[in-house]
Amino acid sequence: MARKSPQAKATSSEVLECVQQNCPSCGKPMWNEYNNLRRVRTLKGVVQLLLKIRRCQNKSCERYRIKYRPEQEGSWALPQQEFGLDVIALVGALRYQE
């Protein structure tokens, strides 16, 4: 469903980088190909995440040009979701409390 109002302003920001700097397949260094911005609503406010996306540039590698996203992204929110894991856990606890 399309958004009918503008997205909330971020109250804080975080930069997430990949822990693994080398390709898991060929072992050569991966380049920081591009950055993604993502906003996540948490119980403490709206956090803007700057994700540093890496890709292997070795043409003979089986993971050539396949995205490698920061590992910490999964601890903030589920893929393609706007709300953080803390909000989802709170909603689940309140729902099943009765």
pLDDT, one tens digit per residue, over 55-78 is 999 999 999 999 999 999 999 999
Q: In angstroms, what CA-CA distances link 38 with 14, 26, 61, 78? A: 10, 30, 29, 12
- pLDDT tens digits for range 8-33: 899 999 999 999 999 999 999 999 99
Nearest to 23 by CA among 51, 79, 65: 65
Two tokens at 30?
Answer: 């991966």
